[in-house]
Each structure stands twice: as structure tokens, then as C-alpha cells.
Amino acid sequence: MLDTANTPLPHRTYREAERVEFLDAFERLGKVSLAAREVGLHPASCYKWLVDAGIDAKKHSRARRAEYFRLREAGTARVDAARQTGLNIRTAIDWDQGIEHASNRRVYPDGRVIDYNKDVPVLSEARQRLLLPLVERQLDPRYLSLVDREKIRDLSATGASIRFIAQTMLRAPSTISRELRRNGTDTGTYEPYAAHRAAAERRPRPKDIKLVEGSRLREYVQKKLQIRWSPEQICHSLIKEYPDHQEMRVSPETVYQALYLQSRGGLKKEVQAALRTGRTRRKPQNTGQARRNRFADPMIMIADRPPEIDDRAVPGHWEGDLITGMLNQSAIGTLVERTTRYVMLVHLPDNHTAEAVRDGLVAAIATLPEHLRGSLTWDQGSEMATHRSFTTATDMPVYFCDPASPWQRGSNENTNGLLRQYFPKSTDLSTYGLEDLEHVAQELNGRPRKTLMWDTPAERIRDLLIPA
């Protein structure tokens, strides 16, 4: 029988591709352990690669930290600063709060230490806090704890005034006054444990479910969900349609809870499918990959677009793109007016070659009055290879986005996401006729938009078409 305890493990030979993959991950994440975990390798081997490459991991980490705080001091939002420096958002939050990380330890500004290397004294204290009953657990420093209430009892027993107690505990006098008034006993005394239990009992503050079965509010929400309105659109539409009826009010979060949590009074599952994503639980969004430049003709880049187009001050400037079907064999053209968010869909029944897209766009633009034919912004997809002939036919310049920059056509990208509710991915889009596209465009243009102060795109475009 082999002595497996003394038998050395076989030495693993790493491929050059694995080393390159780790170095790329480290350059992006800035931390050896995170990069090693991402590529599935041992951190010790990865650290040796950094040494062999002459990279000082600690110096790299300090430079990234300095760059992060430089961006924050310059007014950059936390999410943007973390993304620009390749920092995990949780680490960014810790840095902003002054929490230091060292050897699997988190050191808080107040001196507390959480040690993940099983430092028994620290962990036992943490476990004791976790094992405390809910009534004794500290929720947040802004709430009075059981220890705080014991101090109030002790100071009150000495005859100290409310202001003196507040000053001693670094609290507002109103906090102490309210605590004594609300949580005192019937005999006029103050008992800390009884007061803490009374505060804990009031903490849940349960409320009646708003979307109860058979209510007029629930029927309104269901009706709007079935025509694919978002919960936020429903919320603000209720305010406009029922300005004097407070019972016809619901927050977007309440609608989401009714959809996702059946215990919150749920709406039916077939109504839940009316949400744009169709998901049964919430999920962060992911960004996609942009196309490459495929043009031979010179392009006018988005950086050369006039300022009046960028700030949406002048109507008549459009953003466009294609949504494609199964195996990219079919497509529908989408046009969104930047000022009003008005949507036009271009029917491409046969194919989506550059010539077919050009002819469809020219036909769609021809239906617009001259003052709404300003410009078109597109990405660098090959379907716009004939952009010069499109400009000649419509007298509309075409501006092209930078590679891998879909946010430069934000209105169109958002609209394409909405359209996927009607035209799911991996389906044959050639089965939809011109009437189907007109119906979908009509529904989208009839939805209230937050960015339009809850007006609809149809209302805004109507104001531009009908002279005052």
C-alpha cells in the first residue's frame, strides 16, 4: 500500500496562455488573489509570475488606490471611479468608509477588527454579537441600543436633566425626551429592558397590502402591465390620471414585490411575464460587445457632431440601429428621435444588406417633414456601408459612434431593449409584417416616459408636427 501522506504531488506545468490570462486579469483587477481566482490558478504561482515579470504588486495596488481617491476628489461618482480603476464596488465602498484590508483582516476606523484567519478572540466577539437575540442586537448607531437605554436609566436616576443626558450621550435632547415619553412605564419609571422590547415591537410597523384582490388600483396595474408598461411608468401615470385620489397611489417597489414575492400579494404569473425582461427575479444588467469598423468610405465621427445635437436642444436628430433575429438571418431597423424619443421601425422583409437598409431608411425618412430631418447617428455596423448614398438621398449627415461605445446612442440602445419584449432574440423577425411593426411602434410611442416628465413620445412629436 502506498504511503500517500509522504508521496509528493506531481508538479504541474502551466501553459504560456494561462500566464498571459492571469497577467491580463491582474492588470484589470489589480489584486493577485482576485485575478488568480478568476483564472482558476493558485495565488502562489501567480505571484511568482509577477516577480518574474518585474511587477511590484504592492506598488501597483498603491497606485490604483491613489488614482481612485484622485478621481473621487475630482467629483467622480463612486461607481464610475471604481470602473475606471478596475476596482470591485464593495472594495470601493470600504475605502470610502475608511476600512482597511490587510492579511484577511478588516480594520474599521473605530478600531474594530474582523479577522478571517480564525483569530479566536475577535471571532468569538463577533459571534456573540450575531448570537444576541434580535431584541438586544444593535441595528445601527443612529438607533438607541440596550446599552444606551441603560445609561439613560442610570443618569435619570441621579436626577440629571434631559439636556445633560443628551450631552453626555452625544444625542439630541429630543431623542432622550421622546424615549422617556414613549417607552416609560405606566408608573412613570423607565426600565431599559422593557423600553427596548417596546421599541423592537414597534419596529416592523406592518402595513396593509395595497394591491389587494378586486381593488380598482390592482386592476389598473394589471391592465398597464399587460400592455408592457414598466412599474415606474404606472406609478407616475396614476398621479396624472387620478390627481385627487390618494388611494390610487402605488410605488414601483410595491409593484415589483407583488410580481416577485407571492407573499406580498402577488399578481398572477402570467402578468409577471409582461415585464420587459420576463425574469422571475432581479438580475444586474450586462453590457455587450460592440462591432468593428467595416467601412471604406470616410466617416464623420460623433466627436464632430454639433453641440445642438448633443444637448438635444433641437429636434429632428435620430439614432438608429438594427435588431437581428435567429442567426442574424433577419432584422428590423429602429430609429429613435433624440428629443422626443419617438420610435420608427423599418421593415426589412428580405434581407438586411447595406442596400436594403439604405432603401428602408430612405423610405422611412421620406415620411417626415423637412424640419425633422436633421441627422442620423449609427454604430459602425456593416449595414451602413452605403451611408454616403443615404446622405445624398435624404440630405441627412450620418455620425458614427466610437468602437465599443454603445452608450453614445443611449436612447436607441434603450429602445432596442424595450423592443426585445416584442421581438425576442433567436426568433425569425421576417415573420412580422409592416402592420405588426406599426402596432409595436404605436405602443412604445404611447408609453409615458420619465425623461419627458411623463409625457408620451406621441404627444411630444404631435406638438412638433402641429403648429401652435
pLDDT in tens, 424-440: 988 899 899 999 999 99
HEC string of 48-95 equals: HHHHHCCCCHHHHHHHHHHHHHHHHHCCCCHHHHHHHCCCCHHHHHHH
Instruction: Give pTM, 2 decimals.
Output: 0.46
212's grid cell: 389587494
Under the banding of pLDDT at 50, 70 and 90, the label for residue 280 is low
The one-letter code for the residue type at 283 is K
Length of the chain: 468
HEC string of 421-449 equals: CCCCCCCCHHHCCHHHHHHHHHHHHCCCC
Residue-wise pLDDT tens digits, 111-170: 667 665 544 344 344 444 544 555 556 677 888 988 899 999 999 888 889 999 999 999
Is 57 a residue whose pLDDT tops 70? Answer: no
* Antiparallel, parallel or unpaired: β 113-115 and 300-301: unpaired
- Please list the residues that pair with 320 across neighbouring strands: 335
Q: Quick one: pLDDT at residue 14? A: 66
Is 272 a residue whose pLDDT tops 60? Answer: no
Residue-wise pLDDT tens digits, 350-406: 899 999 999 999 999 999 998 899 999 999 888 888 999 999 999 999 999 988 888
Q: Quick one: pLDDT at residue 432? A: 92
Phi, psi of 398, deg, nearest 5: -110, 125
Q: Quick one: pLDDT at residue 380? A: 86
Position with higher pLDDT, 258 vs 232: 232
* CA dihedral angle for residue 265, residue 268, residue 269, residue 271, rounded to 10 degrees: -120
25's grid cell: 486579469
Q: Quick one: pLDDT at residue 446? A: 94
Q: What is the mean pLDDT of residues 10-15?
A: 60
Is 416 in a helix, a strand, or coil? helix
Q: Are 390 and 398 contacting, i.e. CB atoms less than 8 angstroms apart?
A: yes
* 320 vs 444: CA distance, rounded Å: 16
The one-letter code for the residue type at 416 is N
Q: Quick one: pLDDT at residue 18? A: 77
CA angle, 45 as apex, 40 and 46 as ends, to 5°? 65
441's grid cell: 411602434
Neighbours of 275 (CB within 10 A): 19
Check whether domain 300-465 has CATH 3.30.420.10, yes or no:
yes
Residue extents of the structural domains in the chain? 16-99, 146-202, 216-272, 300-465
